[in-house]
């Protein structure tokens, strides 16, 4: 019975860390459900809405860059509490906002919170949990992260159904008021997990390894004893002392810190972690989640079917993550990453093939669309069956789409700046007209212009004529093909969740040696987010011009590199203490790790 308090504490620690994952998932998914109603009621233009949606990415990048340094300075426990408090503060800032600036500020705070959580929670779990529980602990973080995405999708679906009910009453003023209340309510719903995470952060012990490196050996031992037996605590404390003594011996004999950081024990795990974190995003997972409804719409499903497909997609992610949590400490990280990336490659190739069958028939009606550009260098086009037929009649091509519904994507530019419209289907009666304006393409200021195209001439673009680069008309498959595409994406999500979804956080925290763990994790996660942001930025223009097949096959190609890294170079770290993992990369004989 003596072990019961330790068991309860371990469960509580996992719950608190899991709440951090839940917040991270809510940060990722909440804007998708709120954005349509925010767009309808806020009076913000397309550029402002894009900044509101993307501000969370900017905040996350900024905080990720400094998260390692902050966690070393403040401690893991306090930084977790701060990250949760920032999320809590962001909710009323957004939900009570009456203008553009508060919305951007609130989303920035959410991004800063997410960036800190993404570094400090996996770091805290790696340093606090015993080797036998570390995989399960980090898996629960990912599991509740997926639950946050599911919750955000379900909340969005709930308000979507309610909005549809109000719309049927035919009262425009009432519908406007309800949409305004809907997006604010979506954010309010996410407040309780943040409050619970802050409270829980103050109730757990500080990281024993952080305490030890600060010279607080007795406090480190006390922190270990909250979750371990006395024998286990003494054993890990002795390993910390031996690792610290070995490090001191190698750096005290005239060695410079810069030179010591170039030893293989630091370089190899750091490079491995960076490769895994970068190619984890190169699977396309974030963009596939973000644009899931769009993908399913273009695969042949109706609007309602596509949104339900997205809900099922998030549920598959959630359920498959449970499998990853169960298997990660039984089968090991290397096995799950290898199996997961292998399944991802097959599913992406199949998805690309399904799209290629129709996209090979697409035609370009750019000359016909260029001809309707007005004197103000703008285009407003309602794409329906009649418009599709008229545009196709003006295209001189040997291949023509069949008589079924089609989709249209227009890629256009003003000077050095390029943009793409969303794909619009000819059979979608509820779609809004395609509006091509200078404001939707040319950045509002030099700062935004630099990130859009650092070599672009903003002043010239503000005067340049509208150029239609492509107006691609693609036949839309039937619903049966759409559900097959949905199935391949469900398979993709299942393999991702079981393998990379769970193991990526372990790779981030386990591979890094103690001395560089916090800052190394910050750099690797920053690289991860940079790849995610880059892919999200090029996704719509790329699929608009080259098709979904090209994008999915590119993701599959990147995942091949991920697969080889996991299968050939990654050592198995299951059941090993952080000090044993560090010894392995240093080449010491006492590491006891399976070979890479």
For the chain, domain boundaries = 1-204, 209-255, 259-358+482-570, 363-400+405-475
SS3 226: coil
Residues 6+ apart with CB under 8 A from 147: 21, 22, 25, 318
The strand pairing partners of 467, in sequence order, are 413
pLDDT at 464: 93
Closest CA to 243 of 215, 218, 213: 213
Q: What Å distances lie between residue 453 and 447, 456, 461, CA to CA?
A: 10, 5, 11
Dihedral angle of Cα 315, 317, 323, 326, to the nearest 10 degrees: -100
- The pTM of this model reads 0.71
Closest CA to 518 of 226, 178, 87, 120: 120
Residues 6+ apart with CB under 8 A from 141: 17, 18, 20, 21, 121, 122, 125, 505
CA 167/CA 164 separation, integer angstroms:
5
Assigned token pair, 378: 């703008």
SS3 277: helix
User: Within 13 A of 169's CA, how many CA atoms are on the CB side?
Assistant: 11
SS3 85: helix
Closest CA to 483 of 297, 320, 319, 356: 297
pLDDT at 2: 46
Assigned token pair, 261: 């950081």
Domain 1-204: which topology?
Answer: Growth Hormone; Chain: A; (1.20.1250)
Per-residue pLDDT of the chain (596 residues; tens, 9 = 90+): 445 677 788 788 888 877 888 877 777 777 767 777 787 787 776 556 667 776 777 788 788 878 878 888 888 889 999 999 999 999 999 999 888 888 889 988 988 998 888 888 877 877 787 766 766 777 777 788 888 888 877 887 788 778 778 877 878 888 888 888 888 988 888 888 889 889 988 888 888 888 888 888 888 888 888 878 788 888 888 877 877 776 666 655 544 444 455 666 677 878 888 888 889 889 988 888 877 777 887 788 876 777 788 888 888 988 898 888 888 778 878 889 899 999 999 999 999 999 988 888 888 888 989 999 998 999 998 888 888 888 888 876 555 565 678 888 888 989 988 887 777 888 776 567 888 888 878 887 777 677 667 788 889 999 999 999 888 888 888 788 889 999 999 999 999 999 888 887 776 667 776 666 667 777 877 787 778 777 876 777 787 778 889 999 999 999 999 999 888 887 777 767 666 767 766 665 444 555 44
Same fold, 1-204 and 259-358+482-570: yes
CA 366/CA 460 separation, integer angstroms:
23
Assigned token pair, 14: 């996992």
pLDDT at 496: 94
Helix (H), strand (E), coil (C) string for 137-164: HHHHHHHHHHHHHHHHHHHHHHHHHHHH
Domain 259-358+482-570: which topology?
Answer: Growth Hormone; Chain: A; (1.20.1250)
Q: How many CB atoms lie within 10 A of CB 306?
A: 20
According to DSSP H, which parts of 433-511 are helical? 446-452, 458-461, 479-496, 502-510
pLDDT at 1: 41
Pairing outcome for strands 363-364 and 379-381: unpaired
Sign of CA dihedral 514, 519, 521, 524: negative
The 8-class DSSP code of residue 214 comes to T
Assigned token pair, 594: 């399976």
């Amino acid at each position: 019975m003596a072990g019961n308090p330790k068991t309860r504490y371990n469960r509580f620690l996992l719950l608190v860390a899991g709440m951090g994952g839940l917040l991270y998932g809510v940060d990722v998914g909440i804007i998708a459900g709120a954005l349509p109603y925010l767009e309808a009621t806020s009076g913000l233009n397309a550029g402002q809405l894009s900044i509101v949606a993307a501000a969370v990415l900017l905040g996350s990048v900024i905080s990720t860059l400094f998260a390692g340094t902050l966690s070393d300075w403040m401690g893991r426990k306090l930084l977790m509490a701060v990250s949760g408090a920032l999320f809590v503060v962001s909710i009323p800032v957004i939900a009570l906002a009456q203008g553009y600036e508060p919305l951007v500020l609130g989303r920035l705070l959410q991004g800063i919170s997410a960036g800190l959580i993404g570094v400090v929670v996996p770091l805290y779990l790696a340093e606090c949990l015993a080797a036998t529980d570390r995989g399960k602990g980090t898996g629960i973080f990912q599991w509740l992260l997926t639950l946050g995405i599911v919750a955000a999708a379900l909340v969005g679906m709930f308000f979507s159904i309610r909005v549809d009910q109000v719309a049927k009453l035919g009262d425009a003023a009432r519908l406007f008021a309800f949409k305004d209340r809907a997006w604010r309510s979506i954010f309010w719903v996410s407040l309780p997990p943040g409050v619970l995470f802050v409270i829980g952060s103050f109730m757990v012990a500080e990281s024993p390894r952080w305490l030890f490196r600060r010279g607080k050996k007795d406090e480190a031992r006390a922190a270990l004893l909250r979750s371990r037996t006395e024998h286990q605590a003494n054993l890990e404390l002795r390993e910390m002392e031996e690792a610290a003594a070995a490090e001191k011996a190698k750096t005290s004999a005239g060695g410079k810190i810069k030179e010591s950081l170039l030893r293989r024990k630091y370089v190899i795990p750091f490079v491995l972690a960076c490769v895994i974190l970068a190619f984890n995003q190169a699977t396309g997972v974030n963009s596939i989640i973000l644009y899931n409804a769009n993908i399913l719409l273009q695969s042949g499903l109706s609007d309602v079917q596509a949104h339900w497909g997205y809900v099922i997609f998030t549920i598959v992610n959630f359920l498959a993550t449970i499998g990853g949590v169960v298997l990660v400490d039984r089968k090991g990280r290397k096995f799950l990453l290898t199996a997961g990336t292998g399944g991802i490659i097959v599913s992406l190739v199949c998805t690309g093939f399904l799209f290629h069958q129709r996209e090979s028939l697409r035609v370009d009606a750019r000359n016909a669309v260029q001809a309707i550009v007005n004197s103000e260098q703008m285009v407003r086009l309602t794409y329906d069956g009649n418009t599709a037929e008229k545009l196709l009649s003006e295209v001189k091509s040997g291949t023509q789409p069949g008589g079924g519904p089609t989709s249209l994507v227009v890629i256009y530019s003003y000077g050095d700046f390029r943009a793409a419209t969303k794909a619009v289907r000819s059979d979608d009666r509820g779609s809004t007209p395609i509006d091509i304006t200078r404001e939707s393409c040319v950045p509002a200021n030099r700062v935004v212009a630099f990130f859009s195209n650092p070599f672009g001439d903003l002043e010239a673009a503000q005067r340049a004529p509208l150029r239609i680069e492509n107006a691609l008309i693609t036949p839309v498959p039937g619903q049966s093909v759409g559900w097959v595409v949905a199935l391949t994406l469900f398979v993709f999500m299942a393999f991702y969740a079981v393998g990379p979804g769970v193991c990526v956080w372990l790779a981030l925290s386990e591979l890094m040696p103690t001395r560089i763990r916090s800052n190394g994790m910050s750099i690797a996660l920053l690289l991860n987010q940079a790849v995610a942001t880059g892919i999200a930025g090029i996704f719509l223009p790329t699929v608009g011009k080259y098709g979904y097949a090209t994008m999915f096959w590119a993701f599959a190609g990147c995942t091949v590199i991920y697969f080889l890294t996991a299968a050939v170079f990654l050592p198995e770290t299951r059941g090993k203490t952080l000090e044993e993992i560090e010894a392995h990369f240093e080449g010491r004989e006492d590491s006891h790790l399976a070979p890479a």
